[in-house]
Amino acid sequence: MEDIFDVGNAFNKLWEKLEGWLDTIILKLPNFILAVLIMFATYFIARGVRKLLLRFLLNRISQKSIQDILAKIVFLAVILIGFFIALGVLELNKVLTSILAGAGVVGLAIGLALQGTLSNTVGGLVLSFMPKIRINDYIETSEVKGFVSEISLRNIVLRRPDNNYTIVPNSKFVDNSFTNYSLSERSRITVTCGVGYESDLQDVEDLVVKTISENFKQKSGESVEFFFTEFGDSSINFMTRFWIDLVKNKQEYEARHKAIKLIKSQFNANDINIPFPIRTLDFGKNSLQIGKDQEED
C-alpha cells in the first residue's frame, strides 16, 4: 500500500510545486506592479483625452449626442490599449491570443442572443448622426411627443409637456416616422369657423384676412389664406391659414387661441353671427291629443 501511495512523497512534490509558484510570483511581482500602474495611468489618460476631445475637437460638432458617443468610444479604446499593454508586460501573450480568439466566439454568441439590444445600439448610432434630430428638439411620434432629452446607445428619452419622461427603444423609434417641429422656425396653422347664411360672405372674408394679417406678421413668400369649405347644417363654414413662429407645440396653441379671440371679437363688432345648431322637438298631434284625453279623465 505504501508503494502505491506515499503521503510524504506527495507532500514533498506539492511543496516543490508551491515553491515554484512562489518563485514565479516573486520574479513576476515587479511586472505585476508595473501592469497595475499601467492600468491606473491608462484610466487617467483616457479621462484626460475624453475631456480634451469634448473641450476642443468635439465642440465643432453641433449634436451633443455625437459628442458623447465619440468621447465614450475614444475612452474605451484607450482603456483597451492599456489593457493589452499590461498583458504584454505580464508576458501573457498566449493569454492575450486566447482572449482575442475567445472574444470572437463569445461576440458571435452574444450577437445572436442579443439581436434586439444590438439593433438598439445601431439605432442609437444612426440617431446620433442624423441631422434631423437633435437634443432639445420638439418631436412627435404616433404615440408620444416631447423634447429630446437624451440619445444613448440603447434608447431615446423624451421629456413630455407634462414634464414626465418617456423612454423609447432606438430600434422602435428608428423604424417609425416622427415629426420634428424644431427643424423649421415657421409653420402654417389652420383655424376653422362658420357664419350664418344671412352673412355677406365677401365681408366675412375681408374681415378675417385683415384681422389675421394685422396680428400675425407674414414674412416674404407667406400670406393669409381664406377658403369657404362647405354649406353646414346651420352655417357656412370656412378656414383660414396663416404662418407663425413654431418650434414647439405650445406656440401653435397660443396662436390659435389668439386668432379665435380676435375673430370672435371682430364678428361681434360687425354684427356677424356665428350660429350654433338648434334642435326643435315636434311631438305631433297624436301625442298632444293623448295628453289632452288623460287630463279629461
Distance CA 65, CA 128 (A): 5
What is residue 94's predicted lDDT score, i.e. its pLDDT? 61
Distance CA 160, CA 179 (A): 14
Cβ-in-10-Å burial (0-12, 13-18, 19+) of 142 comes to: exposed
Distance CA 232, CA 89 (A): 86
CB 156 within 8 A of CB 150: yes
- Using alpha carbons only, give the angle 112, 114, 120 rounded to the nearest 5 degrees: 125
What is residue 26's predicted lDDT score, i.e. its pLDDT? 65
What digits encode the pLDDT tens for the residues 87-122?
A: 777 766 666 666 666 666 556 555 544 455 556 566
What is residue 55's predicted lDDT score, i.e. its pLDDT? 74
What is residue 211's predicted lDDT score, i.e. its pLDDT? 95
What digits encode the pLDDT tens for the residues 204-260?
A: 999 999 999 999 999 998 999 999 999 988 899 999 999 999 888 889 999 999 999
Architecture in CATH of 132-180: Roll (2.30)
**The one-letter amino acid at 226:** F
What is residue 114's predicted lDDT score, i.e. its pLDDT? 47
Closest CA to 159 of 182, 44, 168: 168
Class of domain 186-269: alpha beta
What is residue 201's predicted lDDT score, i.e. its pLDDT? 95
Asked if the model's pLDDT at residue 284 lies above 80, the reply is: no
Residue tagged 431615446 (cell numbers) = 156
Mean pLDDT computed over 183-199? 91
Distance CA 296, CA 136 (A): 77
Q: Residue 194 is inside which H or E element, if any?
A: strand 186-195
| Main-chain phi, psi angles of 193, to 5 degrees | -160, -175
Q: Domain coordinates of the chain in residue numbers? A: 8-113, 132-180, 186-269
What is residue 60's predicted lDDT score, i.e. its pLDDT? 60
